[in-house]
Amino acid sequence: MLRGFYTAASGMLAQQRRTELLTNNMSNANTTGYKADQLSVRSFPEMLISSMGGETVLTESKLSMSRFHQVGGLSTGVYVQEANPLFTQGTLEETQLDTDISLVDENLPINEETGRQGSVFFTVQDGDGAIRYTRNGSFTLDGQGYLTTPSGDYVLNESNEKI
């Protein structure tokens, strides 16, 4: 009886996580460079249920043992395995700003393992020197003439030098 509650609860938790993810995707739909997330929901392994009782069987050592009867499989619920961003090309919007740049994912190779097309990103360096990646192409120039993100991260070239 309680096992059924646990199975139902695992399903509710997975659906709650899905609802939270969809809400986040909808609230960021107009954010420049935002990539929606998608969930992978998996089932826990099934268990084979057996019952003991009824007839008994004699073992080689002359002990009496109850015979097991298979009742069938029982699912134990689902869980959210992972959330993956969808790196598909979004819509492009002209801004009339010389520092705004867009990335287009045309003619990129297909990954043989996943069957998905590759993606390109801008490489940026934050204030702590950490390298990050973004698809948001809304850039500005700082006081020294370097190309930066609105939050002040430096945009880097292929050699990881400030542009």
- Quickly list DSSP for the chain: -HHHHHHHHHHHHHHHHHHHHHHHHHHTTTSTT---EEEEEEEPPPEEEEEEEEEEEE-TTS-EEEEEEEEEEE---EEEEEEEE------------TT------TTPPBPTTT--B----EEEE-TTS-EEEE-----EE-TTS-EE-TTSPEEE-TTS-B-
Highest mean pLDDT among 39-53, 69-83, 107-121, 127-141: 127-141
Q: What is the pLDDT of residues 102-147, one digit of tens each?
A: 888 778 888 888 887 878 889 999 989 999 998 888 999 999 999 9
Domain ranges, ordered by start, for the chain: 1-86, 89-163
What's the chain's average pLDDT? Answer: 83
